[in-house]
Amino acid sequence: MAIRRGRGVAAINYPTGMNLGGDPTQALVHSTPTGNFMVTLSSVDLGQGMKQIMAQICAETIGVPTDRVIIDTADTDTGPHCMGTFASRGTHRAGNAVIQAAKEARQVMLEVAAEELEVDASDLETDGHGNIVVKGAPQKSISIFDVALSAHFKRGRSISGRGMFLIPRSYPDKETGAMKPSTCYAHACTLVEVEVDDETGEVTVLTVKNVFEIGRALNPKMVEQQLVGGSWMGISHALYETTEPYYPSRDHGGTDFNQYLMPGPGDLAETEIIVLERPSADGPFGAKGPGEMCANPQIPAVANAVFDAVGVRVDTLPITPERILRALKAKAAG
């Protein structure tokens, strides 16, 4: 009886979006007289930070700092339609809609600024700090606050825009299965090191190295929070979780967090995240949807590492100590 070490690898891809019934999201953008921009959506922030990302996308497109953008979302009286937050679609679909709306609003903003500065709108650019400047002559400028005031009170213009992003519905071919179920794909490769106690069947995950390719890290800190959390969830899925421990039997289902097992802080491995960015052709600034993908590769990587350590395959999730011991016993019995 001994503690045995093993390592395993897995590589995966993951589709962005859910194109069974068409996959639309809309956005509206308008400026207030304060020179701030309001983005109106009906998308849901699940705690992952959707509002923050939409603010950064709008800010980059219009050319203002992120804190000048306010997100009003998840109200069906005010927000235009969104299919919902699922299928790794939020950033990609809503982000594209916000870009389109923000571009339209930016164009009106530049037209108003052009009238104030008596130049052509195509000669203007934003400095990213809240001002519109003449290209090549930055001393000639106007603040976006003043542009908003002018639009509202003098020029009679609405600095606003409409955005719509729709992936049309794809119907699978009955015979061949030809279909377009999603758009761009994110990628990952995960390497896991484990120790397995061949007397107790207990698995200790030592290290998890994840390489994720996500198109574009729109906000690297938020990318990190999602990818690390996903990696932990993958470990939990591989080794701990089930509502029906002896599926297909319905017995022994957990009803609270005392019975439903998940790893605690002491059970989490050293987790390394490396991010590659190959911008997608159709994503907002090249972003793909990594929200679901990041919790997948750890599961087979752990399974493969357990085999590498003790030479038995557990092809049923979760890979519990009981299943490992039963497999070891079966192997010993020949």
Measure Cα distances from 115 to 111, 112, 321 in Å. Answer: 6, 5, 73
Q: Which of 103, 152, 153, 149 is nearest to 126 (CA)?
A: 103
Least Å distance, CB 61 to another protein, is 9
3 state SS of 31? strand
CB closer to another protein, 77 vs 118: 77
Q: Could you tell me if 12 and 31 are in contact, meaning their C-beta atoms sit under 8 angstroms apart?
A: no
The distance of closest approach from Cβ of residue 218 to another protein in the complex, given in angstroms and rounded to an integer, is: 5
Cis ω before 248 (30° cut-off from 0):
yes
User: Quick one: 21 or 156, whose CB is closer to another protein?
Assistant: 21
CA distance 223 to 154: 43
Query: Which residues fall within 8 angstroms of residue 31, CB to CB, at 6 or more apart?
Result: 37, 38, 105, 109, 144, 148, 151, 159, 160
Interatomic CA distance for residues 227 and 223, integer angstroms: 6
* Distance in Å, CB of 328 to another protein, minimum: 18
Q: Which long-range contacts (CB under 8 A, 24 or more apart) does 253-262 make?
A: 262/236
Q: Which is nearer to another protein, 133 or 149 (CB)?
A: 133
Q: Output 197 or 213, the one with its CB closest to another protein.
A: 213
Question: Rounded to the nearest whole angstrom, what is the least distance from the CB of residue 180 to another protein in the complex?
Answer: 6
Residue whose pair of structure tokens reads 């038995």 in the numeric block: 312
- Name the residue type at position 141: S
Comparing CB distances to another protein, the nearer of 10 and 142 is: 10
Phi, psi angles (nearest 5°) of residue 199: -95, -40
Q: How far is the CB of 154 from another protein (least distance, A)?
A: 28
CB of 155 to another protein, least distance (A): 26
Amino acid at the residue 163? G
Q: Of the two residues 115 and 145, which places its CB atom closer to another protein in the complex?
A: 145
Q: Which is nearer to another protein, 170 or 204 (CB)?
A: 170
Residue with tokens 């020029």: 155
Minimum CB separation from another protein for residue 118, in Å?
27
Q: 331 and 313 in contact (C-beta within 8 Å)?
A: no
